[in-house]
């Protein structure tokens, strides 16, 4: 018995309304499938590109323990990327195709990774602020309406909570250390604070698709909600560390029950997302060269498999 | 608006299939104290031996040995536990869409 | 809003400390290989000789891990990223255990970090094989194969060492090295018996690295194993003479290749810029 589009659509909407999962073999609107593929793919791309700024410091890590932790963290990020590509593939995408789209700019990744890592303190600050912001974004996604994505997110969130703790622990150690270490941490925070706030995307007023994404269970909170939550969680952590967040307007507002904070430089955000950030070209070039240089290797494996 | 049904695809929707693309394998793990294998995700490999190695690297992450099964995705035949059969698009009997080079139009706005 | 709270309960519970927390970087479910072993060097074991041995084997692992770390974000496929990072982590772990044992045995109050970051080049005892940069994935896998087969045979013997700590380190390392060797062999075979292009690359890689094996003293079993892999890979077994020593000295004597200076400059740079700092 063939069902009408309307009946399939009603069943889909009812599943969403019940907060149940949509699974790979379920009927889903084209728009849902395509939006979900793009969101999951861009999340995966972010994990893979995110390996670069932190990977930059593995060989120079100043203790063997820190080196091991950082190497394990970057390896985890490769793993997260693969979990997410796998989730996107359940929707009909192909990982090689998604990689092409990343490399030629048709799909994007989190713009935070377009900033350089210039000191070892950045390793800690990325763990604290960038992973912290990512966790704020990601925990709600554990309740994503799409089953494979939600399940990938649960695993990823667990691992990233460790990453954030390790980053914060490094900063605590440095802030109890030499004057040079403290200065290194503060200088790093000065560079990464505002880009971390930008990780939550443009203000709600400029995010026209938030409403549909929220109706479909693709997005669980608005950009501004999550950004506020991140600030509220992070300010006490900064105080505990003894660093100053570079925002003169940051102060507790008791009538709102939240921290007030200054205006993000949205022009910078737009420019970086659009390709004009300090590291955009380098990040893509690295990904492209690994992919291109690896082509003969991948092909050799396929040829061997065909022969045997 | 046409239904998004799945026909068992015989040709790619894009112009050029990735000729060196490694096929998809599904991964099932049984932990040390587990009773049965559980599906944990998928990965790409050129052959079953490499798939097994990659599964160990990706899904057990330096843990002690667990039992790992890898199965080519297109070898899996699946049915849905949901009794509402009519609500499933006639998708053939493939549980996942094996690479169909699905086109994602660029006018889909980002979230 | 209660909805908000329950949503972040997931985060809060995920952030709960578990007993495996301190080991998260290394996976979970491991037993401590040195559990129950004290630091003392047993009578009948010469501490200075033990320190030298552990230093040499630790340096091999430390420097080779460094070369593998340089492949992060450059691997030919994401699955290889995880595999290579795993191997680099295993070797780094071996380096840490071995350098720590060396420090204990020498009794000069140094630790793994002082040895890794504050020794000068001529105090390093690694073989020159581990200093080479890999020109491509064929060189990476060929060297990994030879190094792992050699080191596995060596550590297999060390599981019976008179020093219980070194024996315990070896027992753990043997499992890891078997995996590394088998991974490398799988790739050497696939590249050797893959396309014409990959075959040429694999042969060239083997030929380029072979002189460096002169320092290794491969035992008969390891050599036979390698010959078996080369045959299956349809590669011609290499026969180049060993790399010449310099004034009679090689890596184990502290005389390295030109690459070593650059490796240490990178590896030691941040630690040396902040010599009194705790990290």
CA distance A302 to A234: 48
Least confident of A5-19, C195-209, C216-230: A5-19
Closest CB to C86 among B43, B50, B62:
B62
| Max Cα distance, chain C (Å) | 76
Element (H, E) at A3: none
Element (H, E) at C50: helix C47-69
Least confident of A20-24, A189-193, A299-303: A20-24
Residues of B in contact with C90 (CB under 8 A): 62
Q: Is the pTM of this model over 0.90?
A: no
C-alpha atoms less than 13 angstroms from C-alpha of A45 in its C-beta half-sphere? 30
Residue C8 has pLDDT above 50, yes or no: no
CA distance A281 to A268: 16
Length of chain A: 308
Q: What is the mean pLDDT of residues C7-27?
A: 39
Residue C170 has pLDDT above 90, yes or no: yes
Report chain B residues touching chain C, CB-CB < 8 A. 22, 32, 43-46, 49-50, 53-54, 57-58, 60-64
CA distance A78 to B59: 12
CA distance A226 to A138: 10
Q: Angle at CA B88, nearest 5°, toward B83 and B93?
A: 95
The residue written with tokens 């000068």 in the block is C120
Element (H, E) at B48: helix B48-55
Tokens of A244: 């100053």
Residue A169 has pLDDT above 60, yes or no: yes
Percentage of chain C exceeding pLDDT 90: 85
CA distance B27 to B51: 9
CB–CB contacts below 8 A, B to C: 40
Residue B44: helix, strand or coil by DSSP?
Answer: strand
DSSP state at residue B34 = -
Beta bridge partners of A251: A260
Percentage of chain C exceeding pLDDT 70: 89
Least confident of A206-210, C120-124, C262-266: A206-210
CA distance B97 to B91: 9
A286 Cβ under 8 Å from any chain C Cβ: yes
Tokens of A235: 């300010």
**A101: which residues sit within 8 A by CB, 6+ positions away?**
A41, A107, B104
* Parallel/antiparallel/unpaired status of strands B24-30 and B38-44: antiparallel
Tokens of A12: 């889909």
Closest CB to C29 among B22, B49, B64:
B64
User: ipTM of this predicted complex?
Assistant: 0.94
Residues of C in contact with B54 (CB under 8 A): 79, 82-83
Residue A18: helix, strand or coil by DSSP?
Answer: coil
The pLDDT value recorded for residue A1 is: 53
The pLDDT value recorded for residue A2 is: 62
DSSP state at residue C251 = G
* Parallel/antiparallel/unpaired status of strands A251-253 and B38-44: unpaired
C-alpha atoms less than 13 angstroms from C-alpha of C138 in its C-beta half-sphere? 26
Contact predicate C56/C129, CB 8 Å: no
Residues of A in contact with C72 (CB under 8 A): 51, 55, 58, 71, 74
Contact predicate A240/A229, CB 8 Å: no
Residues of B in contact with C182 (CB under 8 A): 53
Determine the distance from the C-alpha atom of residue A120 to the mean position of all C-alpha atoms in its chain, rounded to a whole number.
21
Contact predicate C105/C51, CB 8 Å: yes
Q: Which of residues 57-86 of C touch A (CB under 8 A)?
A: 62, 66, 69-70, 72-82, 85-86
Residue of B77, B87, B90 to mutate, testing the A interface (most A Cβ within 10 Å of its Cβ): B87
The pLDDT value recorded for residue C31 is: 63
Q: Which of residues 148-177 of A touch C (CB under 8 A)?
A: 154, 157-159, 161-162, 165-166, 170, 173-174, 176-177
b/e per residue C92-106 (b: at least 16 CB within 10 A): bbbbbbbbbbbbbbb
Residue B29: helix, strand or coil by DSSP?
Answer: strand
B50 Cβ under 8 Å from any chain A Cβ: yes
Confidence of residue B110 (pLDDT cuts 50, 70, 90): very low
Tokens of A99: 């990689």
CA distance B81 to B89: 14
Residue C23 has pLDDT above 50, yes or no: no
C56 Cβ under 8 Å from any chain A Cβ: no
Report chain C residues touching chain B, CB-CB < 8 A. 26-30, 77-79, 82-83, 86, 89-90, 182-183, 186, 190
Give the closest-approach CA distance of A262 to chain C in angstroms: 24
The pLDDT value recorded for residue B108 is: 34
Contact across the interface for A79 and B86, Cβ inside 8 Å: no
Tokens of C149: 């087969």
Residue A10 has pLDDT above 50, yes or no: yes
Contact predicate C69/C105, CB 8 Å: no
Q: What is the mean pLDDT of residues C49-67?
A: 98
Give the closest-approach CA distance of A154 to chain C in angstroms: 9
Residue C96 has pLDDT above 50, yes or no: yes
Contact across the interface for B101 and A94, Cβ inside 8 Å: yes
Confidence of residue B65 (pLDDT cuts 50, 70, 90): low
Length of chain C: 279
CB–CB contacts below 8 A, A to C: 169
Q: What is the mean pLDDT of residues C232-252?
A: 96
Least confident of A120-129, B16-25, C15-24: C15-24
The pLDDT value recorded for residue B63 is: 59
CA distance C123 to A168: 35
Tokens of C50: 């033990």
* Residue in C closest to A51 by C-alpha: C73
Residue of C21, C78, C113, C131 to mutate, testing the A interface (most A Cβ within 10 Å of its Cβ): C78
Percentage of chain A exceeding pLDDT 70: 99
CA distance A54 to A49: 10
Residue C91: helix, strand or coil by DSSP?
Answer: helix
Chains touching C (3+ CB pairs < 8 Å): A, B
B42 Cβ under 8 Å from any chain A Cβ: yes
Q: What is the mean pLDDT of residues B46-58?
A: 93
More confident site: C14 or C62:
C62
Residues of A in contact with C198 (CB under 8 A): 296-297, 299-300, 303
The pLDDT value recorded for residue C197 is: 98
Tokens of B57: 């690297």
Residue A251: helix, strand or coil by DSSP?
Answer: strand
Whole-number CA gyration radius for chain B: 17
């Amino acid at each position: 018995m063939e069902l009408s589009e309307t009946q399939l659509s009603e069943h889909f909407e009812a599943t969403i309304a019940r907060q149940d999962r949509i699974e790979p073999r379920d009927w889903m609107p084209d728009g849902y499938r395509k939006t979900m593929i793009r969101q999951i793919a861009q999340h995966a791309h972010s994990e893979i590109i995110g390996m670069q700024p932190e990977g930059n410091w593995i060989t120079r890590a100043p203790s063997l323990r820190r080196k091991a932790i950082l190497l394990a963290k970057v390896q985890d990020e490769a793993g997260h990327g693969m979990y997410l590509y796998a989730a996107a593939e359940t929707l009909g995408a192909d990982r090689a195709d998604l990689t092409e789209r990343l490399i030629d700019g048709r799909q994007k990744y989190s713009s935070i990774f377009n900033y350089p890592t210039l000191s070892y303190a950045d390793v800690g600050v990325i763990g604290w602020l960038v992973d912290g912001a990512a966790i704020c974004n990601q925990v709600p996604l554990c309740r994503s309406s799409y089953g494979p994505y939600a399940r990938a997110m649960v695993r990823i969130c667990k691992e990233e909570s460790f990453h954030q703790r390790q980053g914060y622990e490094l900063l605590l150690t440095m802030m109890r250390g030499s004057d040079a270490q403290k200065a290194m941490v503060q200088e790093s925070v000065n560079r990464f604070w505002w880009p971390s706030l930008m990780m939550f995307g443009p203000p709600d007023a400029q995010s026209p698709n938030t409403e549909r994404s929220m109706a479909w269970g693709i997005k669980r909170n608005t950009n501004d909600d999550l950004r506020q939550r991140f600030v509220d969680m992070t300010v006490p952590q900064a105080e505990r560390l003894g660093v100053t967040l570079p925002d003169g307007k940051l102060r507790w507002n008791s009538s709102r029950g939240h921290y007030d904070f200054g205006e993000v430089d949205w022009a910078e955000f737009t420019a970086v997302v659009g390709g004009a950030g300090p590291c955009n070209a380098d990040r893509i070039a690295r990904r492209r060269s690994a992919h291109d240089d690896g082509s003969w290797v991948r092909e050799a494996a396929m040829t061997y498999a065909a022969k045997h | 608006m046409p239904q998004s049904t799945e026909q068992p695809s015989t040709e790619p929707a894009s112009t050029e299939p990735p000729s060196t693309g490694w096929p998809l394998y599904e991964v099932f793990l049984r932990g040390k104290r587990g009773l049965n294998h559980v599906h944990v995700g998928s990965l790409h490999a050129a052959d079953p031996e490499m798939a097994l190695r990659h599964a160990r690297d990706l899904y057990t992450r330096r843990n002690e040995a667990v039992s790992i099964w890898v199965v080519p995705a297109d070898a899996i035949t699946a049915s849905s536990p949901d009794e509402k059969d009519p609500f499933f698009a006639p998708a053939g009997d493939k549980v996942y869409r094996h690479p169909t080079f699905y086109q994602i139009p660029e006018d889909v706005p980002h979230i | 809003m209660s909805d908000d709270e329950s949503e972040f309960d997931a985060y809060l519970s995920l952030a709960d400390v578990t007993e495996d927390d301190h080991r998260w970087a290394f996976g979970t479910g491991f037993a401590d290989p040195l559990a129950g072993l004290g630091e003392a060097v047993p009578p009948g074991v010469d501490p200075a000789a033990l320190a030298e041995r552990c230093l040499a084997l630790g340096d091999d692992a430390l420097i080779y891990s460094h070369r593998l770390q340089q492949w992060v974000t450059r691997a030919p496929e994401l699955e290889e990223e995880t595999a290579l990072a795993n191997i680099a982590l295993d070797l780094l772990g071996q380096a840490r255990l071995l350098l720590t044992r060396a420090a204990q045995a020498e009794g000069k109050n140094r630790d793994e970090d002082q040895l890794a970051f504050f020794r000068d080049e001529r105090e390093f005892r690694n073989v020159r094989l581990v200093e080479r940069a890999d020109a491509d994935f064929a060189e990476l896998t060929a060297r990994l194969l030879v190094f792992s087969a050699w080191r596995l045979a060596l550590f297999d013997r060390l599981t019976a060492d008179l020093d219980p700590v070194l024996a315990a380190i070896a027992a753990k390392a043997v499992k890891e090295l078997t995996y590394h060797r088998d991974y490398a062999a799988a790739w050497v075979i696939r590249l050797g018996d893959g396309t014409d292009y990959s075959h040429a690359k694999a042969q060239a890689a083997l030929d380029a690295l072979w002189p460096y094996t002169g320092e290794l003293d491969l035992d008969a079993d390891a050599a036979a194993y390698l010959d078996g892999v080369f045959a299956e890979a349809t590669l011609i077994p290499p026969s180049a003479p060993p790399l010449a020593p310099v004034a009679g000295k090689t890596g184990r004597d502290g005389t390295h290749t030109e690459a070593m200076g650059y490796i240490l400059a990178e590896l030691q740079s941040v630690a040396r810029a902040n010599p009194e700092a705790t990290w």
